[in-house]
Amino acid sequence: MSESELTPVRVGDSVMVIDRYGTGSHEPVRALVTKAPRIWLEMTEAEPRAGRTPLTWRLRRDTQDDGGGRHNRPRFLTSAQHAREQRRTSVDAYLAGAGIRTEHGTLWHTPENRLVLANLLRAHEGLPPL
């Protein structure tokens, strides 16, 4: 599956919503899709905080965000996208801990190259691949 490819999202599916303003955190919140028409998906927080009304979102299926112009607008990730993002975060943290620079302009800039390098280093250290 390519990076931009979105798996079909249906009613009842679990997604991860990142909404800095609604939740006050950059941490993803698990939500369930409650309506899934062609363009706008509606979702509700799966595990609301005690004594609070569950948060709800209306996000575009195609762009995976609310269509607004803000930089930190709410967005959602499918389970596969969220797992891929967590893996990238682990790879980046591992390489940073090893003192390897991965910014733009280096050989290790692409996610694929960073994953290969991290797994080569881990294999050399006798660790399982990421």
Tell me if 2 is assigned to some domain.
no
Q: How many domains does the chain divide into? A: 2
Q: How far apart are CA 54 and CA 109, in angstroms?
A: 39
Q: What is the pLDDT of residue 39?
A: 92
> What's the pTM?
0.76
Asked if the structure places residue 6 within a domain, the reply is: no
Q: Is position 3 within any domain? A: no
The per-residue pLDDT for range 33-48, each reduced to its tens digit, is 999 999 999 999 999 8
**49 is a domain residue:** yes
**Domain for residue 9, yes or no?**
no
Q: Are 108 and 102 in contact (CB under 8 A)?
A: yes
Is the CB of residue 23 less than 8 Å from the CB of residue 30?
A: no
Q: Which domain holds residue 96?
A: 81-124
Tens of pLDDT, residue by residue over 52-106, are 899 999 999 999 988 877 777 899 999 999 999 999 999 999 999 999 988 888 8
| Two structure tokens written together for 46 | 């799966």
Same domain, 18 and 71: yes
Query: Are residues 90 and 70 part of one domain?
Result: no
Please write the tens of the pLDDT for every residue from 109-121. 899 999 999 999 9
Sheet holding 14-18, edge to edge: 56-60, 40-45, 29-35, 14-18, 75-77
66 shares a domain with 21: yes
pLDDT at 3: 47
Q: Does 33 map to a domain?
A: yes
